[in-house]
Amino acid sequence: MLKEAWMLAIETLSWMEMQKLSERLALARTIKQLNIRDSNAVRFAHRLVCETARRRNFIDKFINNVLKPDAISEFNLGVQAFLRLYVYQTRIAKNWSEVDVEKAENIARLARSILGWKSLQKVERVLGLLATQKPASILKDVSDEERTGLLTFHPTWFVRYNFKLLGRKEAIAMLEANMQTSPTYVRLNTLKTDENEILERLVKDVIKVEKVEKLKHSYTVVSARHPLTRTASFREGLFYIQDKASCFAAEAADPKPGTTLLDVCAAPGAKTTYLAQLMQNKGIIYSIDYSRRRMAVWKKEVARMDVKIAIPLIGDACNPLPLKMKADIVILDPPCTSTGAFRKLPSAKWRITRRSVDNMAEIQWEMINNCAGNVKLGGALVYSTCSITVEENEMIVERFLKWHPEFSLAEITPKIGLPGLRGLEKCQRLYPHVHQCNGFFIAKLVRES
């Protein structure tokens, strides 16, 4: 099991580095590539990959400090992945306090059997140092922002950004929250059966949950005997694994039975399936996404959750939408930098830069501008992202209101977030350290008749 897990972890990190894939996609590709079916190996590899990726900046700086005058980037991807995993497993998982020479040697032997002794020949000399050297030296002679980034595992530019956005104290609280494991939330599917009956089924599956206040069907998972996706109640579509911030966005739209709704950037289906549930499978939902691969997942989820009113459409919202109809509600959850979801998607921290924020904001602007014409008089446009940057949120809304004076901001209920920034208090913001969920932004814009 151990060798398979390390093979998976090394190859997964290599794919992530080479093709900028997320942890989930890279691991899924590697499992298929190596044909590994041991669930224990997969779980161990997943933890190794996620926890190593989460601490990428600290680990790389520590390794480079030991490798001097060489650098980790000079080696092939397999060796890079091994060195990062080695430091995590021998040092960080031990909280840097305990030096386990025997474990370090066993891991080195595993790596030789996976990568070959020739591949590791150039780094053999530093494995002992990596397993024993203290990390404090890498924090010397660095700025306050870089030090904070190293201690909370965030890029320096992102630390600097949040110091300006939230103030130092609040920013550090949020960055530290990103170091913690995110709670798991499920949304019970009342399209299948009564909520109390679903709760009884969860008890049979040994899943313990607690109700989320102010949201209709959301629960926090307290404990589960088995992975949620392997339970009978999941397979039967009795619940959807969905962050409470995402559930909040659907409830903020407030669709009623009989509503005509346009769900833009709809895949993989979390929003569509909840909107249909809130509409009691009455009305119609046109779900648009540009990705055929993601829409294939959407179709499976729509079927699993027993949604009857959703129609899939392939289309890129950066262009005029592929239908001329006017909807009661248009919901746009565009691609974003995911800066609010770093604790769930740790590798995303290292894929984006400050420039990424501005580039993404332009894509979001094109999308929201294209959606405006599909909102009927008296209808609503709900805009949401899992980003905490103002460029992708309040500044998009400000620009939209200037270009489209027929729209105005509306109050959002329920009120579980904090007011929007830049004076847009009718918008709502969620933060990981305050609300125990993804960082999120929601604006509701009404087209006045």
Among residues 55, 1, 3, 45, the alpha carbon closest in space to that of 24 is found at: 45
Nearest-angstrom CA–CA distance, 188 and 179:
28
Tokens found for residue 375: 């909102």
End-to-end CA distance of the chain: 64
Rounded to 10 deg, the angle between the 101-115 and 77-87 helix axes is: 160
Per DSSP, 208 falls in state E
Q: Is 381 helix (H, G, I), strand (E, B) or coil?
A: strand
Per the CB < 8 A criterion, the answer to whether 143 and 159 are in contact is: no
Tell me the C-alpha to C-alpha distance, in Å, between residue 448 and each of 251, 333, 376.
21, 22, 9
Count of Cβ atoms closer than 10 Å to residue 93 Cβ = 16
Tell me the C-alpha to C-alpha distance, in Å, between residue 353 and each of 23, 145, 171, 245.
19, 15, 18, 24
Among residues 271, 254, 249, the alpha carbon closest in space to that of 430 is found at: 249
Per the CB < 8 A criterion, the answer to whether 285 and 311 are in contact is: yes
Tell me the C-alpha to C-alpha distance, in Å, between residue 198 and each of 82, 225, 245.
44, 17, 22
Tokens found for residue 326: 């006017």
Q: Which of 50, 265, 336, 386 is catalytic?
A: 386
Tell me the sheet residues that pair with 327.
375
Catalytic site includes residue 386 = yes
**239 HSE (CA, 13 A, CB side):** 31
**86 HSE (CA, 13 A, CB side):** 30
Per the CB < 8 A criterion, the answer to whether 415 and 345 are in contact is: no
**432 HSE (CA, 13 A, CB side):** 26
Tokens found for residue 295: 């829409």
Tokens found for residue 37: 């079916």
Tell me the C-alpha to C-alpha distance, in Å, between residue 409 and each of 214, 322, 419, 420.
22, 26, 13, 11
Q: Which residues are the active-site residues?
A: 386
